[in-house]
Amino acid sequence: MALLPILTAPDPRLKKKSKPVETVDDSIRQLMADMLSTMYAAPGIGLAAPQVGVLKRVIVIDAAREGDPSRPLKLANPEIVWASDDDNAYEEGCLSVPEHYAEVVRPRAVKVRYLDETGAERLIEAEGLLATCLQHEIDHLDGILFLDHLSALKRTMILRKLLKEKKAAERGEGTDTEKSADSTQHTL
Ligand SMILES: [Zn+2]
């Protein structure tokens, strides 16, 4: 198990489209395992391969409620094959957009086809937080961040702050924006 460094916005690699996995082999299984450890350590409830600089269509998720048994999901080539007409709004955050949260509206339920870690094709039906998480992570595979669902003004504001924080960190300065997420915010 290795913890992988997580890229933060703005970074050109987060805007790229990831390539499909050809075969779910040992290297993909290792990537999935490392991504899960990285996600739990962060902590977050979802992580996509491009966030650790690997442009492959792989995501991991654990949207179990706090206190419930963990429910890790490892997906290769996930694809939304159905989405509900009605929507849900969640306060979303992202490990690649640290310390910033915003409400994003997405379909309430989705069906996603994917390959599991043995390479078998599976279909998952999800609603609520898990559905939001799946959509957020699949967006990453297409170079889309939750910021791209916000107004241009809000997106620019957050990106500008992130860039400032990044530069401050490079200079070895701390920032005073550290705060813990409240229970309605989800880091995906
Ligand atoms: Zn994210």
DSSP tag of 120: -
**Per-residue pLDDT averaged across 58-85, rounded?**
95
**Could you tell me the distance, in angstroms and rounded to a whole number, from the CA of residue 48 to the centre of ligand 1?**
7
Model confidence pLDDT, tens digit, residues 121-175: 999 999 999 999 999 999 999 999 999 999 999 999 999 999 998 899 889 886 6
Model confidence pLDDT, tens digit, residues 37-59: 999 999 999 999 999 999 999 99
Residue 106 has pLDDT above 90, yes or no: yes
Percent of the chain with pLDDT over 90: 84
**Could you tell me the distance, in angstroms and rounded to a whole number, from the CA of residue 188 to the centre of ligand 1?**
5
C-alpha span between 111 and 81 (Å, rounded): 6
Query: Quick one: three-class SS letters along the chain?
Result: CCCCCCCCCCCHHHHCCCECCCCCCHHHHHHHHHHHHHHHHCCCCEEEHHHHCCCECEEEECCCCCCCCCCCEEEEEEEEEEECCCEEEEEEEECCEEEEEEEEEEECEEEEEEECCCCCEEEEEEEHHHHHHHHHHHHHHCCCCHHHHCCHHHHHHHHHHHHHHHHHHHCCCCCCCCCCCCCCEEEC
Cα 61 from chain centroid? 8
The owner of tokens 């998952």 is: 124
Query: 176 vs 155, 163, 179, CA distance in Å?
Result: 21, 15, 9
**Could you tell me the distance, in angstroms and rounded to a whole number, from the CA of residue 112 to the centre of ligand 1?**
18
Average per-residue pLDDT for the chain? 94
Judge whether 137 counts as a catalytic residue. yes
Supply the pTM of this predicted model: 0.93
Give the up-direction half-sphere exposure of residue 58: CA atoms within 13 A in the CB hemisphere: 27
**Could you tell me the distance, in angstroms and rounded to a whole number, from the CA of residue 125 to the centre of ligand 1?**
20
The reported pLDDT for the residue numbered 176 is: 61
The reported pLDDT for the residue numbered 41 is: 96
Kind of pairing, strands 121-127 and 185-187? unpaired
Phi and psi torsions of 6, nearest 5°:
-100, 125
**Could you tell me the distance, in angstroms and rounded to a whole number, from the CA of residue 109 to the centre of ligand 1?**
18
The reported pLDDT for the residue numbered 95 is: 97
The reported pLDDT for the residue numbered 72 is: 97
Q: Which of 91, 99, 137, 178 is catalytic?
A: 137
The reported pLDDT for the residue numbered 179 is: 56
The reported pLDDT for the residue numbered 65 is: 86
The reported pLDDT for the residue numbered 131 is: 98
C-alpha span between 73 and 112 (Å, rounded): 12
